[in-house]
Copies of this chain bind each other. A is one copy, B any other.
């Protein structure tokens, strides 16, 4: 499940989040999608799970900086 194979659209479907949210988590150094030669992001199933957890934590009141420090998620 580590293979980075899905594009933004699929991740949006699987997580229920918006592209904006997903990209923001990356900007905050919480996820690290791969890039195709053309610049497109590629995510793994693990990334999807991580994104869900991140969003959940944010709902619980945490901030992205804290989540980054926590490391695991």
Contacts and interface: CB of A to CB of B under 8 A. Distances in A.
Interface of A: 5-7, 9-10, 14, 36, 40, 42
Given A5-B5, A9-B36, A10-B42, 8 more contacts: A5-B10, A5-B14, A6-B6, A6-B7, A6-B10, A7-B7, A7-B10, A9-B40
Please give me the 4 A-B residue pairs with the lowest Cβ-Cβ distance, nearest first: A5-B6, A5-B10, A7-B7, A6-B6
- Pick the most buried of A5, A9, A36, A40: most chain B CB atoms within 10 A of its CB: A5
Contacts of A6: 5-7, 10
A27 to B, nearest CB: 23
Nearest to A14: B5
Contacts of A40: 9
